[in-house]
Chain A
Amino acid sequence: MAEANKEILICRCQEVTLAMVEEAIAEGAFSVDGVKKRTRAGMGLCQGKSCERLVAKIIAEKTGQDPADVLPATSRPPVRPVKMGTIEGEMNA
């Protein structure tokens, strides 16, 4: 594994490097969710908005899957961070 890959950030929120993603794939991850569970890539404040496509591309390269077949992570609400007080206000309105 190239030493430089330890310096390349894939998920900026969680500071996950290319080397860590490659290691997760070597350990058996074959989906975006699998990489996420092993490295926390995509679990940060932006919820994978910047890293998900990169992770999918690396998985496709390393496992030989068609990029279109790499399973994405589950999309969940909210789309952007929402204050809990705002949600609470909606309920009591």
Chain B
Amino acid sequence: MPKKDADVIVIGGGIIGTSIAYQLSKRGKKALVIERNDLCSGTSGACDAYITPHTKKPGFHLALCLESLKLYANMEKELGDDLEYWQRGGFQPCEDELSFQLVSENAKALMAGGLEVKMMDIDEFRRHEPNMSPNLTGALHCPAACQVNPFKLVMSYARNLKKMGSGIMVNTEVRDLLWQDKKVAGVKTGKGDFYADYVVNATGSWGAQIAAMAGLEAPIEPRRGQIIVTEPTSTVINTTMQSGMYLVIKFHPEKITDETMKRLGSGFCIEQTGDGTILIGFTREFAGYDKSTTLEGIEYIVNKACTYLPCLRDMHVIRTFSGFRPYVVDGLPLIGPVEGIPGFIMAAGHEGDGVALSPITGKLVAEMIAGEPVSFNIDAFSPNRFIKQAQQA
């Protein structure tokens, strides 16, 4: 094998790739992040800031998120940077009886999974969030929910991993994988060939293309999320909110009569950033890699937002944007080695959970590669689940 350039090559400089490279560096491994565009330029640069355990599936998914939350609690201190990380809690507001009922049922499953949540009627909810419309039916409250600025987190991971001797190459496109003795041994890029013991695919919404280079059919599809940004303003909301309609859309689409809602996959979610701007979203649409924002999408989000939070009517939209969420059919990311493809590790397909699961994904992949005991059973997230499906089909 030619001389290796790093212990591990991580493809993708987003919130997953830089976390993995940072965690590897902490374990004395030399990582090389190879990014086609710039750090934080794909999904991690066009998303929101939620770390919300109450929107995870009760079971493995929720448990994984709770592990990630523990790591977040110490992250600013560990990285030595302000990440705009706040634990302010989160709400799941409901606009009708059906969503309130589904959210209440889900609350029981979340509590059984070890998460503290509470259902509130509209009066109690409005004592916490006085600007919310009195016409809503209530909300689920999750005190453990947090938010973080993803740009700051990615840049901070990057600074820290470089300090520990790892490297980053931006503006460098991976064109193919390199093989030695039927093992993935490196990457062929526009700037030359690079070799390492392991290659990690952390390319999120583009994860299927890199997986295909390894001969793995990974069912990861880009799902567009449109978001609007308001002018900076004083405090309008104290927490983050994601409406209960997302649960209805996901589990009972047949009960939704609003065709636009169904097509756009759009509920209502909102956060206020450190800068005072308010981010409101978002759609969940399949539109290939078309990154446009659409009049239909924006109007829909605005209309919903004004219904939930009437005071927004007087605020200005200064920008709209959209980003891709790496959608996987069973709602779980692909994390871990792949049967029959030694040297290749998947860490992609987090859909809307990349921010929440960044620290734990980085830690688990780094543990695997460093040969440490893996601190969380990741069988449920193994990419091999799709190989087995394909063989049975």
Task: List the interface of chain A (C-beta within 8 A of B).
Answer: 14, 27-31, 33-34, 37-38, 40, 43-45, 47, 74, 76-78, 81-85, 87-88, 90-92
Given A33-B41, A77-B293, A81-B318, A88 and B275 contact (CB-CB distance below 8 Å): no
Residue of A nearest to B304 (CB): A88
Closest chain-A Cβ to B132's Cβ sits at a distance in Å of 16
**Residue-wise interface mask of B (298-329) relative to A, using a CB-CB cutoff of 8 A (1 in contact, 0 not):** 11101101100000111111111100000000
Given contacts A34-B38, A34-B41, whether A27 and B155 have CB atoms under 8 Å apart is yes
17 contacts between A and B (CB under 8 A): A28-B38, A33-B45, A37-B151, A37-B155, A43-B319, A45-B231, A47-B319, A74-B291, A76-B320, A77-B293, A77-B320, A81-B318, A85-B314, A87-B299, A87-B317, A88-B303, A90-B299
Minimal beta-carbon separation of B355 from chain A (angstroms): 15
> Would B306 and A85 count as touching, CB distance under 8 A?
yes
Residues of A within 8 A of B231 (CB): 45, 81
A37 to B171, CA, bound (A): 16
Query: A29-B38, A81-B231, A84-B312 are known contacts. Are A74 and B299 too (CB-CB below 8 A)?
Result: no
Q: Beyond the given A28-B38, A30-B170, A87-B302, please list 12 additional residue pairs across the A-B interface where CB-CB is below 8 A.
A: A33-B38, A43-B277, A44-B318, A47-B318, A76-B319, A76-B321, A83-B313, A83-B317, A84-B230, A84-B302, A87-B298, A88-B299
Q: Is the CB of A88 within 8 A of B41?
A: no
Contacts of B171 in A (CB 8 A): 30
Answer whether residue B32 sits at the interface, using C-beta atoms and an 8 A cutoff. Answer: no
Asked if B346 lies at the interface with its beta carbon under 8 angstroms from chain A, I say no
Interface residues of B in 48-79 (CB under 8 A from A): none
Give chain B's interface secondary structure class. mixed
> Would you call B39 an interface residue if the criterion is a C-beta within 8 Å of the partner chain's C-beta atoms?
yes
Indicate which residue in A29, A77, A81 contacts B316 across the interface (CB closer than 8 Å).
A81
Contact with A along B220-232 (1 / 0, CB 8 A): 0000000000111
Q: A43 vs B231: C-alpha distance in the bound complex, in angstroms? A: 10
> B315 to chain A: which residues have CB within 8 Å?
83-84
A28 to B136, CA, bound (A): 47
Q: 4 closest A-B pairs (Cβ-Cβ)?
A: A85-B313, A81-B316, A91-B299, A87-B302
The CA-CA distance from A85 to B310 in the complex, in Å, is 9
Q: A74 to B39, Cβ gap below 8 A?
A: no
Name the B residues within 8 Å of A87 (CB-CB): 298-299, 302-303, 317
Contacts A77-B293, A85-B314 given; indicate if A92 touches B320 (C-beta within 8 A).
no
Question: Least Cβ distance of A59 to chain B in Å?
Answer: 12
The CA of A34 and the CA of B41, in the complex, are separated in Å by: 8
Which of A28, A78, A85 contacts B39 (CB under 8 A)?
A28
Min CB gap A80→B, angstroms: 9
